[in-house]
Amino acid sequence: MTDSNNEQKYNVAYLERQLFNLSKLVEINRIINSTLDMAKLFTIIMEIIKEIMETEASTLFLFDEKTNELVFKVALGEAGDKLQEKYRVAMGQGIAGWVAKERKGVYVNDVYLDERFDSNFDKQTGFTTHSIICVPLLYKGKLLGVIQAINPINRPDFTDEDMNLFRAFADQAVLAVQNAIFFERAIEEARMRNELSAAHEIQHSLHPSIANDYVFCEIAARYLPAREVGGEFYEIKPYDDAVAIAVCDVHDKGVPGALNAALVNGLLKGLMNVYGRVVAPIFLNTLQVVASHHINNVSLFLGMIDNKTKTLTFMNTGEAYPVIIRDSIAHYLRFSHSLHNNKKIVVKLKHGDMVIIVTDGVVNCKNRNARLFGLKQVMDTCSQFSTPEACIGGLLDTVKNFMQGLTQREDISVIAVKVK
């Protein structure tokens, strides 16, 4: 056979392969954009890599921005699924880490002679790597991950032609991967919105708007939530000639905080029904049960205003601030206790006294100069008002003005009771 015939056959074979690759790339574009499911997409990508690159195995690493690592998401071929979602590679570690760090592709036909190669993959799987071709997945210059084809079949080495084909495939795959990431994030955000909505509903049920006028006292209460759902609630329970007031903060955020607050609220209500107007057993049993459920760092104020004795009896773990206003002068009831150091405090009340309980969200809020609102300003503001509703409204307006448009960072609860 003449050299010209050989050259002609080579050219024909080369053109046929190029035509095959082009038609494959067109088909691949349709296939990889047929799903937004991350797992399905990654599986499709790996199967296609093995087919078009004619290799024993393929891998896909997704870049984890939080840890600055590559995460082995999918493994097909002889390596199997052992490493799916389990194998992590630091930036610069191994050939994949080098590709991710340098943001450029490479092929190596004898990996054990390359100092960049990390043999841990082979040691953990029992798979033997001979050759690797690896390219980064870059979306508008941002690293999404790395894809690899391992050990060519029916030929000894990877070539420049393989690299051109692999890069062309990566250019198509990266858009599908980014779309799948966007879609997954959208689903996660929707799920979080649904959970947040449920948490808000739970939280709203724990903070009814209250403006009640009893025979012996007038009560108002208001809750001002921070942007993030938290674990704060208040409870007001009337008895014959008495009213119980509770303010609790579970100090957790999000759905767990709302659920824990609902648990503590239900417990508190149950104990109020069991022990009636007796403060100490309600208070102590609530904290003991909460501690036994490993709900840590719970603050609780529980008070009882008794019309017959004209007294306020309360116990407090410390994150609520009780203030009494008498003759337009505010006094802080400085009593704070824990489960192991508890005291029952009794305060004699007079006609016209107003008792206000605020949570630390009021006291600790800051303005643009990082100055705290503080308890003194709470007392100075509340002493200007003569009714519970006006007192709470005036206090919250003052807090809002003080914050100068800054986002509220903590929940705020305020209860005001005026003795008749």
pLDDT band at 184 (very low <50, low <70, confident <90, very high): confident
**Residue 407 DSSP label:** P
Residue 314 predicted with pLDDT over 90: yes
Q: What is the pLDDT of residue 80?
A: 42
Q: Tokens 């690899």, residue?
A: 148
Largest Cα–Cα distance in the chain? Answer: 120
Q: What is the pLDDT of residue 157?
A: 93
Residue 13 predicted with pLDDT over 70: no
Q: What is the mean pLDDT of the chain?
A: 82
d(CA 175, CA 242): 67
Tokens of 67: 């840890």
Least confident residue range of 17-26, 44-53, 342-351? 17-26
Residue 339 predicted with pLDDT over 60: no
pLDDT band at 9 (very low <50, low <70, confident <90, very high): very low
pLDDT band at 197 (very low <50, low <70, confident <90, very high): low
Least confident residue range of 3-17, 141-155, 292-306, 314-328? 3-17
What is the mean pLDDT of the segment spanning 134-162?
91
Q: What is the pLDDT of residue 336?
A: 53
Q: What is the pLDDT of residue 145?
A: 92
Q: Report the DSSP beta bridge partners of residue 305.
A: 243, 312
What is the percent of the chain with per-residue pLDDT over 90, rounded to a whole number? Answer: 38
Identify the architecture of domain 3-187 in CATH. Answer: 2-Layer Sandwich (3.30)
Instruction: Measure the N-to-C terminal CA separation of the chain; round to a whole number of Å.
Output: 117
Higher local confidence (pLDDT), 39 or 88: 88
Q: What is the pLDDT of residue 35?
A: 67
Q: What is the pLDDT of residue 177?
A: 82
Least confident residue range of 117-121, 172-176, 236-240, 275-279? 172-176
Q: Which of 319, 386, 314 is nearest to 354 (CA)?
A: 386
d(CA 73, CA 95): 17
Q: What is the pLDDT of residue 382?
A: 95
Q: Which amino acid is at 298?
A: V
Residue 5 predicted with pLDDT over 60: no
Three-state secondary structure call for residue 227: coil
Q: What is the pLDDT of residue 75?
A: 43
Q: Report the DSSP beta bridge partners of residue 133.
A: 107, 149
pLDDT band at 95 (very low <50, low <70, confident <90, very high): very high
**Residue 119 DSSP label:** T
d(CA 134, CA 48): 15
Residue 211 predicted with pLDDT over 80: no
Q: CATH for 206-419? A: 3.60.40.10
Q: Report the DSSP beta bridge partners of residue 139.
A: 142
Q: Tokens 């690299």, residue?
A: 163
Q: What is the pLDDT of residue 273?
A: 84
Cβ-in-10-Å burial (0-12, 13-18, 19+) of 170 comes to buried
pLDDT band at 259 (very low <50, low <70, confident <90, very high): confident
Strands (E), 1-139: 55-64, 69-77, 88-90, 106-108, 132-139
Dihedral (C-alpha) 240, 323, 402, 224: value to the nearest 10 degrees? -30
Residue pLDDT, tens place only, 62-78: 999 989 999 886 544 44
d(CA 110, CA 233): 66
Q: Which residues contact 190 (CB under 8 A, 6 or more apart)?
A: none
Q: Would you kindly state where each structural domain of the chain is located, as residue ranges?
A: 3-187, 206-419
Per DSSP, the residues of 240-289 read: TTEEEEEEEEEEEEHHHHHHHHHHHHHHHHHHHHHHTT-HHHHHHHHHHH
Q: What is the pLDDT of residue 130?
A: 94
**Residue 228 DSSP label:** S
Q: Which of 185, 184, 167, 221 is nearest to 53 (CA)?
A: 167
Least confident residue range of 7-16, 40-49, 344-353? 7-16
Angle at which helices 160-205 and 3-32 cross, to 10°: 10
